[in-house]
Structure 1
Amino acid sequence: KLLLLLLGTSTSMNLKLNFLPLIYTLYIYILNKMNVVIRLITFLCVCLFVSVQPQGIGEPSVYHAVVVIFLEFFAWGLLTTPMLTVLHQTFPQHTFLMNGLIHGVKGILSFLSAPLIGALSDVWGRKSFLLLTVFFTCAPIPLMKISPWWYFAVISMSGVFAVTFSVIFAYVADITQEHERSTAYGLVSATFAASLVTSPAIGAYLSVTYGDTLVVILATAIALLDICFILVAVPESLPEKMRPASWGAPISWEQADPFASLRKVGQDSTVLLICITVFLSYLPEAGQYSSFFLYLRQVISFTSATVAAFIAVVGILSILAQTVVLGMLMRSIGNKNTILLGLGFQILQLAWYGFGSQPWMMWAAGAVAAMSSITFPAISAIVSRNAEPDQQGVVQGMITGIRGLCNGLGPALYGFVFYLFHVELTDTDVAHTESAIIPGPPFLFGACSVLLSLLVALFIPEHMGPGMRPGAYKKHSNGAQSHSHSPQGSGAEGKEPLLEDSSV
C-alpha cells in the first residue's frame, strides 16, 4: 500500500502504468502468503492449546520429567559425531569462531524468551509448553542431512523456544515438597548426563557402520517419540486452582521482559548473589559445552570413538555425583557448602583443561568435571525453596534466562579467545599444541571466572530466615481442603522481589 501511495504521488503517468500491475500482483501474492502463514499458525496454536489435554498416564511425577529430558538429549547425543563432521565441513575456516557465533545467537534468543515462557507456563500450565519447547529444540535435527546451512540457521533460531529445562524445573517444583526438590533436581540433571552416556557412542558406531543418514533418521524418530510421549503420557502438573489467572488473561510486559528479571535481581541481596554466582560459573561452562568435544577431536587428537567413550565415562560419573553424592552432601554439609564444593571442582577442572595437552590429562580432568556437576542442582534447590508455587515458572525462568544469556555469551567468548590465540582446526600442529604453555586459553579464562563466582557464593546466607520460606501452601489454602494453613493477609505476597532479603 505504501508503494501504491508513492506511485500515486508520482507525476509520471507512464511510471504508474508500468509499475502498477507489478506492484498489485506482488501485493496480492504477499497477502495470500500471509493468509496461509496466519492460518498455519492458528492451526498449530489450536492443536497445541486445545487438543493437548491435561490428563496423562497416572499422577504427575518426576519420572515424567525425567523421560522427557532423556529422550530429547538422547536424540541430540546421537548427533555428536556427525555434527562435528558437518560443522568442520560447512565452516572449514575459523570453525571455533563460527561454532561460537551459532550457539551464541541461540543462547541470546533463549535469554530473551525464557521469562515469557516461564510466565505463560504459570498461567496456562506446563504440558503445552513442554510440547512447544521440545518440538522447536528438536526441529533442526532432520535438516542436518537435508541442508547443513539451514541446519545451523535453524539451530540458532530455535533458541526462542530452547528453554526445556525452565519448564521442566517448574514442573518438578509443582509436584515436590521443599525438602524433596534438591534430590528431584539432581535426578533431572543426572538424567541429562545419562542421556549422554551411551548416545554419542551409539551415534559414532552407527555413523561409521551405516553412515550419518541413519543416525539422523534415528535421532528424528526419537525426537518424535518424545513429542508423542508428552502428548499422550505426561499429565498437567499445575492445577487450575494454583494458577494466578485464567485462560486468555494478559501477560504483563514486566513478566515477558528478559531484563526485568535482571532489574529485579538488584532489589534482593540473596537473589543478586545467587544470580551472579550462576552467571560467572555457567559462562565458561556454556562455552565449554559448545566447543570442548570439537577441541578434543581436532586439537588433542581424540578419535570419534574416544570422544564417545569420554562422554560416556564422564556421564556415568556425573550421574553418581548428582544422585548419590549430591544427596549425601546436601544432608551433611548443607546447601551453600555443596555449591562452594561444586565450584571448587569446576575451577580445578577448567584449569586442568587449560594447561593439559595430553589425552590422559583430559581423562583426569573429566572425572573432576563430573563432580562439578552438583553445582546447578544445589543452586536450583536453594532458589525453588524460597519462591511461591505460582511463581516457580517465573523464578526458574529467571535463572534459566541468565543461563540462556551465558549460552549466548559463553560460546561466542570461547570462539573469540580461540581465534585470538590462533587455535584453529586447519593444519593443526600437535607438537605445537603440546609445547604451548597454555594449550587451551579459553578454559583458563573460564577458571578465573569461576574463581570470582566462588568468592561471590561465599556471601550467600547459610540459613534463610522464616520470612523467606515459601508461603504458597498458605497462599493457596483458601480453596483447598487439604491445606490447613491460614492464608496470608498481605496483598503483595506474589510481588517482587521473588526472594525476600536476608542478612548477609
Structure 2
Amino acid sequence: MKKTIKEQKAVLIILLSNIFIAFLGVGLIVPVMPSFMDIMHLSGKTMGYLVAVFAVSQLLMSPLAGRFVDRYGRKKIIIIGLLLFSVSELIFGLGTNVWVLYLSRVLGGFSAAFIMPGVTAYVADITSVQERSKAMGYLSAAISTGFIIGPGIGGFIAEYGIRFPFFFAASIAFLACITSIFILKEPLTKEQLAEISANTKQTNFISDLRRSINPLYFIAFIIVFVLAFGLSAYETIFSLFSDHKFGYTPKDIAAIITISSIFGVIIQIFMFGKIVDILGEKKLIQLCLIIGAILAVASTVVSSFLAVLVVTCFIFLAFDLLRPALTTFLSKAAGKEQGFVAGMNSTYTSLGNIVGPAMGGILFDVNIHYPYLFAAVIMGISLGITVMWKEKRLVESLAE
C-alpha cells in the first residue's frame, strides 16, 4: 500500500522544488527582455524565436526522455535534467552573442524535457489514485509558481545586474541537483523498470505520436497543445507589452507578476479540489478557457495599473486551474505508462510553446495588441475542441 502525501512530505517537497526551479528559470528571461533587446539590438521577432527555440529542443528530447524515465528510472533523469539546467543558465548569464543565448535555450529545453516527465512519473508512482489529484494540484502549483513568479524574481534580482538572475538560477539548480542525489530514492525496483522498458523498447518518436492519438489521451493532449500555444504567446509578450505601452519598469512588471502568482497559487492549492468536485474537470476547463479569452481581449483596452493587475491575476488563475485538471486526467489514464504519458504531455506542451512565442513576436512587431487578440482566438478554438471531449467514454475507459 502506498504511503499518504503527509507521510512522504520530504520527498514531495524535493520533487516540487525541482520542478519549481526548472520553470523558474524559464520565466527569469521575461523581465530582462526589453533590456536585452536594447543592448543587443534585437527585434520582437528574435526574442520570440529565442523563447521558441527552448520549446523546439524540449520537443525533440521529450519523447526520448519519457522512455528514459521508464527505462533508467525517475531519479537519474531528474538529476541529469537539473545539471543540464544549471549549465544552461550559467551559459546564458555569460553570453554576449545571440548564438550563445540560443545555445543556452537549447540546453534549457533538454533539461525541461528530462525534469518534467521525471518528476511527474515519480509523483504518480508514490501516490494513490485517491490522492493523485491533490498531488498533481501541488505539482501544477509548483510549475505555475515557477513559470509566473520567475519573471518577478528576475525583475527584482536584475536590479543588481542584468545577468545576475541567470547566475542565481544556475546556483539554485546545482544545489537542487546535489540535494536530489542524496535525498531521493528510485520509486520503482529494477524489475519494475525492466518490465516497463520491455513494453516501450521498440518505440520511436513517430510511434509515440501515433500512440498519443489513442482516444483515451488525444483530446486532452490537443487541449494541452492549444493551452501552451495561447499561454506562451500571451506570457512571452507581457513584459514587452507593458514596457512599450505603459512604460513599466522591471520592478513594476515584477510586482504585477508576483502578486498574480501568489493569488493563483493560493486558489490552486486550497480550492482546486473543491472546484473540481463541484464543476467536474470538463466544465472547469471550459470555464477557464472562456474567462481566459475574455480577459485576453480586456488586456488590450485596460490602462490603469490596478486594472492591469486585476486582469493579469485572473487570466493567470484561469491558466493555473487548467494545468492540474489536464495533468490529473492524463496521469489517471496512464496506468503503468506514466513515463510515456508525461513525456508526450511535455511534447505537446513544447509544440504549443514553439509556435506561440514565435507568432507572438511576429504579431508584436505588427501591432502590440495583436498577440493578446491572437491568444483569445486560440482559447476560443480550444473551447470548441472541448465539445468533442466525450467525458462518459473517457470515464468508462478509465474504469476498464
TM-score, structure 1 as length reference: 0.70
Structure 1 distance, partners of 2:346, 2:67, is 12
Structure 2 distance, partners of 1:140, 1:166, is 19
Larger CA Rg, structure 1 vs 2: 1
Q: Return the match for 1:168 from 119, 128, 138.
A: 119
Matched, 1:230 2:180: yes
Amino acid at match of 1:298: H
Structure 2 distance, partners of 1:198, 1:269, is 35
Q: Deviations over 1:68-121 (max 9, x none)?
A: 12334445656654454234322x242x10011122222122112111101111
Structure 1 distance, partners of 2:185, 2:356, is 35
After TM superposition, list the pairs within 5 Å mapping 1:95-494 onto structure 2: 96-149=44-97, 150-158=99-107, 159-163=109-113, 164-195=115-146, 200-208=151-159, 210-212=160-162, 214-245=164-195, 252=201, 254=203, 256-257=204-205, 259-266=206-213, 268-372=214-318, 373-389=320-336, 391-419=337-365, 421=366, 423=367, 439-464=368-393, 468-469=397-398
Structure 2 distance, partners of 1:305, 1:463, is 48
Q: Deviations over 1:48-79 (max 9, x none)?
A: xxxxxxxxxx7984322112123344456566
Structure 1 distance, partners of 2:88, 2:34, is 15
Structure 1 position 262, deviation (Å): 3.1
Structure 1 position 301, deviation (Å): 1.6
Aligned length, in residue pairs: 390
Amino acid at match of 2:327: S
RCO higher in structure (CA 8 A, sep ≥6) = 2
The 3-state SS of whatever aligns with 2:184 is coil
Structure 2 distance, partners of 1:464, 1:246, is 26
* Greater Cα offset, 344-353 or 324-333: 344-353
The aligned residue for residue 5 of structure 2 is none
Structure 1 distance, partners of 2:348, 2:150, is 28
The structure richer in helix per residue is 2
The 3-state SS of whatever aligns with 1:161 is helix
Asked whether the equivalents of residues 385 and 470 of structure 1 are also in contact (C-alpha less than 8 Å), the reply is no
The 3-state SS of whatever aligns with 2:112 is coil
Structure 1 distance, partners of 2:196, 2:340, is 17
Q: Return the match for 1:63 from 6, 13, 18.
A: 13
Distance 1:170 1:303, change over 3 A: same
Structure 2 distance, partners of 1:344, 1:124, is 41
Q: Deviations over 1:457-496 (max 9, x none)?
A: 133233456762377xxxxxxxxxxxxxxxxxxxxxxxxx
The aligned residue for residue 500 of structure 1 is none
TM-score, structure 2 as length reference: 0.87
Q: Deviations over 1:251-307 (max 9, x none)?
A: 6453x31x43333344x3342322222222221112223222232223332111111
Question: Which consecutive residues of structure 1, in runs of 5 or more, have no partner in the other structure?
Answer: 1-57, 424-438, 472-504
Structure 1 position 250, deviation (Å): 10
Asked whether the equivalents of residues 279 and 403 of structure 1 are also in contact (C-alpha less than 8 Å), the reply is yes
Asked whether the equivalents of residues 60 and 235 of structure 1 are also in contact (C-alpha less than 8 Å), the reply is no
Distance 1:358 1:185, change over 3 A: same
Amino acid at match of 2:219: L
Structure 1 position 358, deviation (Å): 4.6
Distance 1:167 1:300, change over 3 A: farther
Structure 2 distance, partners of 1:269, 1:198, is 35
Q: Deviations over 1:357-415 (max 9, x none)?
A: 554442121121232110011011111111222x1110111121010111111111111
The aligned residue for residue 89 of structure 1 is 39
Asked whether the equivalents of residues 386 and 470 of structure 1 are also in contact (C-alpha less than 8 Å), the reply is no
Structure 1 distance, partners of 2:149, 2:223, is 31
Structure 2 distance, partners of 1:246, 1:284, is 34
Question: Which consecutive residues of structure 2, in runs of 5 or more, have no partner in the other structure?
Answer: 1-7
Structure 1 distance, partners of 2:291, 2:42, is 34
Structure 2 distance, partners of 1:370, 1:395, is 25
Asked whether the equivalents of residues 24 and 147 of structure 2 are also in contact (C-alpha less than 8 Å), the reply is yes
* Greater Cα offset, 313-322 or 71-80: 71-80
Asked whether the equivalents of residues 88 and 105 of structure 2 are also in contact (C-alpha less than 8 Å), the reply is no
Amino acid at match of 1:412: A
Distance 1:237 1:85, change over 3 A: farther
Percent of aligned pairs with the same amino acid: 23
Amino acid at match of 2:174: L
Distance 1:328 1:291, change over 3 A: same
